[in-house]
Amino acid sequence: MTSGSEWRETRNARSRARLERALPAIFPGQVLHHALSRPLIPPTPRLAVESYWRAHILRADRLARALAARSGEPEGWTWRLGAEKGSGLAATFRMPPSPYREPAHTRGRGHCCICGQPVFRFGWHTDLWGAGVPNKNAAWHSACVTAWKFWVAPSDQVKVLKAHQRHRCSASGKRLFKTAEVDHRVPLYRVWREHRGDPWPMLLGFWGAPNLQVVNRIVHVEKCGEEAGERARLRQGLIPDVEA
């Protein structure tokens, strides 16, 4: 046995013991199963939950958007941008709008600032424990944090998205090369320009898997060129624009 695998076995035995000690009587079975089959076992229930969602990015994306749909758009909310700290507004349309982060619409402790729904133990989204009340110390779901990271940096998940497309370029149908890139089907500047009035939970779909595709670099460069041209025409006033 190499010293590397010895180290890992010792570490895993310790992590497993720690995890089992901390594990409540009720715990999501799929998360435990996932944790125990990791090359490095997460040593706490919370880390086990995080590890689970990290391994199921597209599921986290779907769940976060479904939870947001349950909350719906807060009364009187509109998608606005703002650079002021504490306003809860994003400075750029590249960030997904998050109404429940804005002080005027926050649902308070125990509710997820990304989707607005109650948060339970270990950042879980359902009350498996029958607590009846959310976990007052929690401000987000583990799934929603994973989804948020995916929404703001989808390129980090190019591998997952490639596999999801069975390694075919969604523009040309050809096999995806190593250099293939993640692209928003509807570019985000157009989301801001043409869709900003859409209901909020639907808006999130523009950051999630429904609006993401992996395309070969050559296709992407061409598409970006066209988009840059369109934006330049917008700036010159050749196309009516509502973007600031």
Residues that bind Zn ion (CB under 5 A): 67, 112, 114-115, 141, 144
Question: Which residue of the chain is nearest Zn ion when measured via CB?
Answer: 112
Tokens of 148: 């948020």
Please report how close the Cβ of residue 100 comes to Zn ion at its closest, in angstroms: 9
Please report how close the Cβ of residue 116 comes to Zn ion at its closest, in angstroms: 7
Please report how close the Cβ of residue 67 comes to Zn ion at its closest, in angstroms: 5
Residue 32 · residue 48 · CB < 8 Å: yes
Residue 114 · residue 100 · CB < 8 Å: yes
Using the minimum distance from each CB to Zn ion, give the nearer residue, 40 or 152: 152
Q: What angle do CA 106, 109, 111 make, to 5 degrees?
A: 65
Give the DSSP letter string of 12-42.
Answer: HHHHHHHHHHH--S---HHHHHHHHTSSS--
Residue 112 · residue 67 · CB < 8 Å: yes
Residue 187 · residue 227 · CB < 8 Å: yes
Residue 78 · residue 28 · CB < 8 Å: no
Using the minimum distance from each CB to Zn ion, give the nearer residue, 58 or 234: 58
Using the minimum distance from each CB to Zn ion, give the nearer residue, 64 or 219: 64
Please report how close the Cβ of residue 135 comes to Zn ion at its closest, in angstroms: 12
Say how far apart CA 235 and CA 241 lie, in whole Å.
Answer: 8
Using the minimum distance from each CB to Zn ion, give the nearer residue, 52 or 189: 52
Please report how close the Cβ of residue 106 comes to Zn ion at its closest, in angstroms: 13
Please report how close the Cβ of residue 70 comes to Zn ion at its closest, in angstroms: 10
Helix (H, G, I), strand (E, B) or coil at 64: helix
Using the minimum distance from each CB to Zn ion, give the nearer residue, 98 or 213: 98
Please report how close the Cβ of residue 187 comes to Zn ion at its closest, in angstroms: 26
Using the minimum distance from each CB to Zn ion, give the nearer residue, 56 or 220: 56
Using the minimum distance from each CB to Zn ion, give the nearer residue, 112 or 161: 112
B/e letters for 111-136, b = 16+ CB within 10 Å, e = fewer, are bbbbbbbbbbbbbbbeeeeeeeebbe
